[in-house]
Structure 1
Amino acid sequence: MIRLSIPASMGMVFNTLYNLTDIWFAGYLGDDALAGLSIAGSVFFLLLSIGLGIQAGASAMIAPEVGRGAVKDAVKGGTSPVKYWINNVTGMAIGFSVLSFLLGAFTARSLVVLLGAEPHVEPLAMEYLWVTLAGSIGFMLSFGAAGALMALGDTKSNRNALAIGFFANFALNPLFTFGLGLGVTGIALATVIIKIATAFYLLRVLAKRLDIRIRPAFDWSRWQALLKQVLPASFNTLTIVLGGFITVALIGQFGSHHVAGYTVGLRLEQLLLLPALGLNSAVMAIAGQNLGAGNSARVAETYQKSLVIGLAMALFSIPIMYFLSPLMMSFFTDTDAIKNTGVTYLRIDALAFYAYVVLFQSVAVLQAMRKPMLPMYLGIARQLVIPAIINYVLIVLWDYPMVSMFYTIVIVVVISSVIAHFYTKREISRLPQAGALD
């Protein structure tokens, strides 16, 4: 788990640093550009979420085939299921990118306004959105290729791509934004170019590793099986994004500067959670391969040890989140309203840090077992229904302060993690010859 999770975590670190670089350069353009990019990012990931499940779906379908030894047939040029899954994942990624763009064309502006963008912020948000939506195919193909490589036990290639992408972004952002005077459009253009290059690189590594030619396929029978894994994972991600979307919309009632503060704080929290997300990738791949090999006792062992490793991560990250949050926020802005909101969010949500870790590992094991429905239902309740109702009552009806929303997040996440943990233990115990969990 550690061997696979370290490269995966490092890749996610570079991906988050990539996003923080965009925010950093937007800050140099002014507070309006920072607020516009923060709002646009929420809208973009909402529209992109329909394809985010491709990575989990690809890993869930391919990893068991790896455990059964199907990779050897692919390398020898045989009719391996691995090759056909990869081709269909690629085809699905292309289809989802077209769907994301079409949805964005009709809904993006309304969503930007809904999130509280003032008239002088809205054009800046839309500048970023039009460019990134046009290049969404790079994001989708990257997700699919990364999921396939993860199932093969390769987390290093995606790490390398994301690391190179971070440094490329750090060079292209100032060139496009200030050198060519493109402003927010320059930030978006740099992102699109890098993501398309990343997709080609990962697909090339995948093709070379298996000695195959990757050709987008649209086999409906395989798409049906794939969609059974992709759609729940995508919908789970969608509920996360929608939950954040609703949170941002409610925070937007207090002003766009508070939206910017929450967004920066959220990105910093995600940076600290990245080791746990890298562990999530490793757990999904290992559990899937062991299921394919019929070794269910190792699935139980994998889950147990992931929680112990995750606890060590939490003990390291929580003090950073609480004590160093003012310093971290100061890197991005000098505006008190933005800084104070970010610091407040980070210190309160530190209470739920280990609960996030437990949720990540539970979801990883369930997806590897091809049981994605509970994460989806739990996501709907945790991210969407319960916070929306509670926060609407607190903020809109009872006129509570903004900070009450952050406490709601903590309570809901902790309760959800307990439910996910015991459900995962039960499902593992039902596997043939599964080892008992302590």
Structure 2
Amino acid sequence: MEGNLTRGPILKTLTKLAIPIMASSFLGTLYNITDMAWIGLLGAKAVAGVGVGGMFTWLSQGLASMARMGGQVQVAQCIGRGERQKAHGFAQTAMQLALLMGLAYGIIVALSANPLVGFFRLEDAETLSAALDYIRIACGFIVFSFLSVTLTGIYTAQGDSKTPFVANLFGLAANMILDPVLILGPGAFPRFGAAGAAMATVLAQVIVTGIMLLGIFVQKKENVLKGLRLFVKIPLEYVEGICKIGIPTALQGMAYCFISMILTRMVAGFGPEAIATQRVGGQIESISWNTAEGFGAAMNAFIGQNYGAGKTERVKQGYRVSLWTVGIWGLLITLVFVCVPTPIARVFFHEKQAIATAVDYLIIVGFSEAFLCVEMMTVGALSGLGRTRLCSGISIAFTSLRIPLAIILSSSALGILGIWWALTTTTMMKGIIFTSVFLLIERKMTDAQQEQ
């Protein structure tokens, strides 16, 4: 069966699945970097406003991960056990939940934009206006993002990572064309500024979602979403199965975002340049974590199918291959960030103070990139085993440490650098702990298999 990850050479099988996912992750990074590069021409205040508005699109991804992760893991494990009809039920339910949650989130956030942005206490009028413009559009139509990430998870669970890649490629092309037109308004086109960046992103997500939905019906290969019906009664059995796996992942993602919001509020005290640096720096850093998360998605499907089929040895070998791959990638990113930060910063910033702040950020967070990559990949692997509660507990506990660490360090002579060091320190801790936990679980699985 096409998309069967339980047989064949492990490295070849995993790489074939992972490369399109990583390429899609790179496209996602380019979406954001393209936005930031064009918005950067409007100045640091506009970048800061979009950065604040973007916190709420990020928060939405935590909520969207409930349907995506719950659907992806359940579908992969059902396929591994040969239960195709049940896989279809989980896939369809995941899509229905994504639609409902996306619509609800969009309406609530768009109507509550003023008090939500008010949390950050933005004193600059230009920054505040950019944040409100961005959040109302980007979050108001966030349902397409919910649907696209859930579709990506379901395609990946079946071993098909090429279709999401093609869809994201077309979406990126649209985004790159629309960004300068809608943000800057060349010639006869109106200049929308930050609102234009949100419009371009939304339209790109509409294209991505449309292509993946079309793929369900036009592809000749078997797809668990064949016969998809969104407007029918949602079976409670499938909802429970998805929530069991997906809720811990959603809580983890949303908690991570809330913590980042608190840190952003602290960063805001150091001026618009500091907020802009945090936003843009995070997008630059996503070159590493998007890649690792993409590999983690491949591991999730690979381990989900093989664990469902009872093939423990393939689970172990797949993790070893992934650990080396993302670890080496993270070290390469570290070298780039630490050794050549200034040319990178100058792509996004044009004011001297903003460039200097961005250089400090890149150097400090650069030291943790390998740990970050290992963490993201291992979270995907553990989730494939169904251990999303464990992932959520570890992640929330150690990410929460950033707040007291940031308060202590930023109050010292380090200033804003103390916040960057808080991010780096906790990332290193999580990378070590997640790896140790997976290896411990792996050993227990081996011992249990030997006793049988």
Report the equivalent of 2:172: 166
Q: 2:53 aligns with which of 40, 46, 64?
A: 40
Contact 1:261 1:340 in 2 (8 A): no
Please report how far the alpha carbon of residue 407 of structure 1 lies from its aligned counterpart in structure 2 after TM superposition.
1.4
Whether the 8 Å contact between 2:252 and 2:395 is mirrored in structure 1 is yes
Task: Structure 2: state its 5+ residue gaps.
Answer: 1-13
Residue-by-residue CA offset, 1:149-175 (whole Å, 9 max, x unaligned) = 000111111111112111111111222
1:390 aligns with 2:396: no
* Structure 1 unaligned blocks of 5 or more: 72-79
CA offset digits 1:307-363 (Å, max 9, x no partner): 111222123222112122211111111112222222211111121112112212221
Shift of 1:401: 0.6
Aligned residue type for 1:55: R
Q: 2:164 touches 2:212 (CA, 8 Å); kept in 1?
A: yes
Contact kept? 1:68, 1:292, Cα under 8 Å: yes
Aligned to 2:424: 410
Tell me the CA shift for residue 230 of structure 1: 1.3
Partner of 1:76: none
Among residues 67, 70, 84, which one is paired with 1:54 in the alignment? 67
Q: Given the two structures, how large is their TM-score scaled by the length of structure 2? A: 0.89
Q: Do the aligned partners of residues 308 and 434 (structure 1) sit closer, same or farther apart at CA in structure 2, a change above 3 Å counting?
A: farther
Shift of 1:107: 4.3
Note the C-alpha offset of 1:433. 6.3
Out of 195, 212, 225, the residue aligned to residue 241 of structure 2 is: 225
- Tell me, yes or no, if the aligned pair for 2:64 and 2:98 is still in contact at 8 Å: yes
RMSD, matched Cα: 2.0
**Are 1:60 and 1:367, in contact at CA under 8 Å, matched by a contact in 2?**
yes
CA contact (8 A) 1:301 1:435 kept: no
Q: What CA distance in whole angstroms lies between the structure 1 residues aligned with 2:110 and 2:197? A: 20
Counterpart among 330, 335, 343 of residue 327 in structure 1:
343
Does structure 1 residue 120 correspond to structure 2 residue 126?
Answer: yes
One-letter amino acid of the counterpart of residue 175, structure 1: V
Is residue 427 of structure 1 aligned with residue 432 of structure 2?
no
Equivalent position of 1:156 in the other structure: 162
Mapped partners of 2:339, 2:71: distance in 1:
39
Residues 1:30 and 1:361: Cα distance change in structure 2 (over 3 Å): closer
* Contact 1:318-1:350 at 8 Å conserved across structures: yes
Tell me the SS of whatever aligns to 2:28. Answer: helix
The Cα shift of 1:124 comes to 1.4
| C-alpha distance in structure 2 between counterparts of 1:434 and 1:62, whole Å | 25
Measure the CA separation in 2 of the matches of 1:401 and 1:296: 48
- 1:304-319 matches, within 5 Å, as 304-319=320-335
Pair 1:236-2:246 in alignment: no
Give the Å deviation of 1:106. Answer: 5.3
Deviation at 1:115, TM superposition (A): 2.6
Deviation per CA, 1:406-432: give whole Å up to 9, x if none. 112222122222222222122222336
Letter in 2 for 1:186: G
Aligned residues: 426
Query: Is 1:3 matched up with 2:16?
Result: yes
Cα distance per residue 1:18-54 (max 9 Å; x no partner):
1111112212233322221111112321244211333
Q: 1:67: how far off? A: 1.5
1:158-209 per-position Cα deviation (integer Å, ceiling 9, x unaligned): 1111121111111112222312322222221121122122112112223444
1:250-399 aligned at under 5 Å gives the runs 250-383=266-399, 385-395=400-410
